[in-house]
């Protein structure tokens, strides 16, 4: 084994370990990989930078922008207007409609954007109709993945596989080449989720009341701190002891809710503390001579009511690619950029209320905030959050729906007939979106998932490094020696299984980049056509059903839907096996071995 081969294999294993353990952000890991490859000379500077100039990377970035342009027209919200009554009268018919609509849209725009749009709408619908979100959100996420497998642009993994095989002098994947198997996946997956899958899904009733969901204290009240109280000048966070059954929801000074963390706020005479506390604690506070107890209802006076009436409770989900992930809210300066009070954090069915500014944030965490209604708009624009409320939804540009659909249809149509490469069409379409006013330049920059771009920037060169050092050929020969005797069909099934397993623990983009060259080299070593093998990688890397952390859409619904990890395992493992059987049956028929 050469030094270069040892380095590149060690880097690959270490990066996978870091991905699985989430010790570092995935984009940082990718840049570390790139730095090692460049410093050791395993890849040339041109090869090292090829990840950023790769057609797939540019196309994926462009598709994020096109998805945002469609989102700003409110197209998907039109789909959900009549679903409420349909769910009330015909649950399975409504669920089929929701899954079909989600899959169709996800075939042409980024499925993460689709779920981000649908999530608050579906949660609101569940509250209105009295349905358990746990019965609907997994089908929503999975349907978005089904749709993504149907077209070249439906998911980034398809674009990456297509780009890699072009580098190996194989024709790219056509726009609808994967549709026959993708549609079969949709039919199989939908039938499963409407029957067996529904029985495996948990039935956890969604709460109508945020205070009930977060188990806030039995009583809420305002107490005014008098000048003689011992806490004057002290941190607001120290007003209650750690073992006291009470918490401060916010501090009002001169009738205005003070932004910032309680640790940074020092109490002054006349401050009003909005608290949530047990009945025993409320009785103790009422008897204190240096506190003025003020029940929330009725409000103190009309002017006070006018000042605070715009404040309300609402939830936000931290997006999987948020810059906050892996950091605390204090580290990112949350209180400086968002004038709201953080009341509680919900993660995997558990509610946290203590020392929230110092809790390390994960993708999918749900934050309970109290803030002005006007702040909703700013949070909705932020790429860090999905607001789980239909209150204050931005005004959509419905008058641009037809032009935007024409632009998207042109991209799909011209790419399908081979008139021009997809990257040319996607970039031109982004420019057209900005020129017609569907979104501005700032919106376009914000729409791009830069974590994915930097992930590809580091991992595409890693694939090149594996080939340059002979690691790909070495592994391929080992697979052929060990499994080749069972025939190409068994090897194809093995590639599907391994790729599918990897996509449940690391990102589907990284999985596609690593597995596609290996599948290509293995097929050549076996003396069969590589195309069915690389197509298998495309399908398997986008079918992450058995884990809530393997795919962005699953992360987004994990806590918002009040799921547990085992919920995904119970529902996802049988579906993974169904898709494995479907793939092994159909792929050799369409792309002969």
Residue 469 has pLDDT above 60, yes or no: yes
The pLDDT of residue 296 is 52
340 and 368 Cβ atoms separated by less than 8 Å: no
CA distance 520 to 525: 9
Q: Token pair of 140, please?
A: 């929503």
Q: Which residues contact 351 (CB under 8 A, 6 or more apart)?
A: 214, 215, 344, 345
Average pLDDT (398-403) is: 83
Confidence of residue 582 (pLDDT cuts 50, 70, 90): very high
* Cis-peptide, bond into residue 298, ω within 30° of zero: yes
Give the model confidence (pLDDT) of 61-115 as tens digits: 888 888 888 878 876 666 666 666 677 668 888 889 889 988 998 898 878 778 8
One DSSP character per residue, 181-207 reads: HHHHHHHHHHHHHHTHHHHHS---PPP
- φ and ψ at residue 340, rounded to 5 degrees: -145, 160
Collect all residues with Cβ–Cβ distance below 8 Å to 18 and sequence separation of at least 6.
Answer: 24, 29
Angle at alpha carbon of residue 166, lines to 164 and 172, rounded to 5°: 105
| Residue scoring higher pLDDT (208 or 326) | 326
pLDDT at residue 330 greater than cutoff 70: yes
Q: ∠ CA 91-95-97 to the nearest 5 degrees?
A: 120
Please report the pLDDT score of residue 312 as a whole number. Answer: 66
Query: Are 257 and 311 in contact, with CB atoms under 8 Å apart?
Result: yes
For residue 234, is pLDDT > 90? Answer: no
Quote the pLDDT of residue 386. Answer: 80
Which tokens sit at 276?
């949530």
pLDDT above 90 covers a percentage of the chain that reads: 19
Q: Which residues of 305-317 are buried (b: 16+ CB within 10 A; e: fewer)?
A: eebbeebbbbbbb
Residue 303 has pLDDT above 50, yes or no: no
**Higher pLDDT pick, 277 / 189:** 189
User: 451, exposed or middle or buried, with CB in 10 Å at 0-12, 13-18, 19+?
Assistant: buried
pLDDT above 60: residue 136:
yes
Burial bucket for residue 227 (CB in 10 Å: 0-12, 13-18, 19+)? exposed
Dihedrals φ, ψ of 195, to 5°?
-125, -95
Q: Measuring CA to CA, which residue among 437, 367, 452 is closest to residue 404?
A: 437
The two structure tokens encoding residue 540:
């398997």
Confidence of residue 377 (pLDDT cuts 50, 70, 90): low
pLDDT at 342: 76
State the residue for tokens 């980049």. 513
With a cut of 70, say whether residue 534 has pLDDT above it: yes
Tokens of 397: 């540009």
531-535: Cβ within 8 A, 24+ apart: 531/165, 531/170, 531/591, 532/492, 532/587, 532/588, 532/591, 532/592, 532/593, 533/491, 533/492, 533/495, 534/161, 534/164, 534/165, 534/170, 535/161, 535/173, 535/178, 535/181, 535/587, 535/591
How far apart (Å, rounded) are the C-alpha atoms in residues 140 and 333? 33
Residue 383's CB is within 10 A of a number of other CB atoms, namely: 17
Mean pLDDT calculated for residue range 296-311? 43
In sequence order, which ranges of 401-449 are alpha helices (DSSP H)? 401-416, 422-435, 441-447
Question: Could you tell me the CA-to-CA distances from 553 to 25, 126, 265, 543 in Å, in that order?
Answer: 18, 19, 37, 11
* Angstrom distance (rounded) from CA 7 to CA 38: 12
pLDDT of residue 579: 96
What the chain holds in terms of domains, given with CATH numbers, is 210-308 (3.30.70.1450), 318-387 (3.30.70.1450)
Across 320-333, average pLDDT: 81
Q: Which residues of 459-472 are buried (b: 16+ CB within 10 A; e: fewer)?
A: bbbbbbbbbbbebb
Greatest Cα-to-Cα distance within the chain, rounded to the nearest angstrom: 88
Cβ atoms of 505 and 19 closer than 8 Å: yes
Confidence of residue 584 (pLDDT cuts 50, 70, 90): very high
Compute the average pLDDT of residues 567-586: 94
Section 242-261 average pLDDT: 74
Instruction: Name residue, tokens 């209650």.
Output: 240
What average pLDDT does the segment 507-520 reach?
A: 87
Distance, CA of 141 to CA of 111 (rounded, Å): 9
> Is pLDDT larger for residue 175 or for residue 555?
175
- What is the chain's mean pLDDT, rounded? 81
- How confident is the model over 417-445, as pLDDT tens digits? 888 888 899 899 999 999 998 888 888 88
* Nearest residue to 173 (alpha-carbon basis) of 421, 543, 401: 421
Say whether pLDDT at 184 is over 90.
yes
Confidence grade of residue 283 (pLDDT, cut at 50, 70, 90): low
8-57 pLDDT per residue, tens: 889 888 888 887 777 787 888 889 999 999 999 988 999 888 888 888 88
Q: In this predicted structure, what is the pLDDT of residue 181?
A: 95
Residue 374: per-residue pLDDT: 66
pLDDT computed for residue 571 by the predictor: 94
**What's this model's pTM, rounded to 2 decimal places?**
0.77
Do 490 and 80 touch, CB atoms closer than 8 A?
no
Indicate the SS3 state at residue 154. Answer: coil
Nearest by Cα to 83 from 68, 65, 102, 70: 102
Is 1's pLDDT higher than 80?
no
| Contacting residues for 3 by C-beta, under 8 A, at least 6 apart | none
Compute how many other C-beta atoms are within 10 angstroms of the C-beta atom of residue 395: 8
What is the DSSP annotation of 116-138? HHHHHHHHHHHHHHT--GGGTHH
Q: What is the arithmetic mean of pLDDT over 221-246?
A: 78
With a cut of 50, say whether residue 206 has pLDDT above it.
Answer: yes
Quick one: which H or E segment has residue 9? Answer: helix 3-21
Q: Which of 145, 155, 154, 156 is nearest to 185 (CA)?
A: 145
């Amino acid at each position: 084994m050469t030094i270069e081969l040892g380095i590149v294999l060690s880097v690959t294993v270490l990066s996978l370990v870091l991905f699985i353990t989430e010790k570092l952000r995935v984009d940082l890991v990718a840049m570390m990989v790139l730095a090692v490859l460049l410093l050791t000379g395993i890849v040339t500077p041109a090869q090292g930078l090829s990840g950023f100039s790769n057609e797939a990377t540019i196309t994926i970035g462009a598709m994020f922008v096109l998805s945002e342009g469609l989102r700003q027209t409110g197209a998907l919200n039109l789909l959900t207007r009549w679903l409420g009554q349909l769910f009330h009268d015909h649950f399975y018919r409504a669920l089929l409609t929701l899954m079909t609509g989600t899959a169709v849209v996800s075939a042409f725009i980024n499925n993460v954007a689709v779920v981000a749009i649908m999530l608050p709408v579906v949660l609101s619908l569940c509250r209105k109709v009295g349905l358990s979100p746990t019965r609907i959100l997994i089908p929503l996420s999975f349907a978005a993945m089904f749709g993504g497998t149907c077209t070249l642009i439906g998911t980034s993994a398809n674009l990456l596989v297509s780009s890699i095989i072009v580098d190996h002098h194989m024709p790219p994947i056509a726009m609808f080449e994967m549709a026959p198997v993708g549609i079969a996946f949709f039919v199989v997956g939908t039938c499963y989720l409407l029957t067996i899958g529904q029985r495996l899904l948990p039935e956890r009733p969604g709460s109508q009341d945020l205070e009930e969901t977060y188990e806030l204290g039995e009583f809420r009240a305002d107490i005014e701190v008098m000048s003689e109280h011992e806490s004057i000048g002290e941190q607001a966070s120290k007003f209650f002891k750690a073992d006291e059954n009470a918490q401060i929801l916010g501090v009002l000074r001169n009738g205005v809710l003070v932004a910032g963390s309680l640790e940074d706020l020092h109490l002054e005479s006349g401050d009003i503390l909005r608290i949530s506390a047990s009945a025993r604690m409320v009785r103790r506070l009422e008897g204190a001579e240096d506190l003025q107890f003020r029940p929330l209802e009725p409000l103190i006076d009309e002017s006070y009511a006018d000042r605070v009436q715009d404040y309300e409770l609402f939830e936000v989900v931290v997006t999987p690619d948020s810059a906050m992930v892996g950091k605390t809210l204090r580290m990112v300066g949350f209180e400086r950029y968002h004038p709201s009070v953080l009341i509680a954090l919900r993660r995997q069915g558990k509610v946290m209320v203590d020392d929230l500014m110092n809790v390390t944030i994960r993708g999918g965490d749900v934050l309970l905030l109290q803030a002005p209604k006007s702040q909703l708009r700013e949070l909705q624009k932020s790429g860090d959050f999905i607001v789980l409320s239909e209150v204050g939804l931005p005004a959509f540009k419905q008058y641009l729906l037809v032009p935007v659909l024409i632009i998207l249809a042109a991209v799909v149509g011209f790419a399908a007939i081979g008139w021009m490469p997809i990257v040319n069409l996607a970039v031109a379409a982004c420019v057209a979106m900005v020129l017609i006013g569907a979104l501005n330049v700032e919106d376009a920059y914000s729409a791009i998932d830069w974590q994915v771009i930097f992930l590809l920037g580091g991992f595409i060169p890693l694939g090149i490094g594996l080939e340059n050092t002979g690691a790909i050929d070495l592994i391929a020969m080992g697979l052929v020696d060990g499994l080749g005797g069972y025939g190409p069909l068994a090897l194809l099934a093995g590639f599907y299984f391994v790729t599918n397993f990897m996509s449940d623990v690391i990102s589907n983009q990284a999985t596609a980049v690593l597995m596609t060259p290996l599948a290509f080299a293995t097929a050549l070593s076996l003396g069969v056509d590589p195309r069915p093998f690389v197509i298998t990688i495309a399908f398997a890397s986008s079918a992450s059903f058995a884990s809530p952390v393997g795919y962005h859409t699953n992360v987004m619904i994990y806590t918002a839907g009040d799921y547990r990890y085992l919920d995904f395992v119970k529902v996802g493992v049988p579906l993974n096996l169904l898709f494995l059987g479907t793939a092994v049956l159909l792929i050799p028929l369409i792309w002969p071995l």
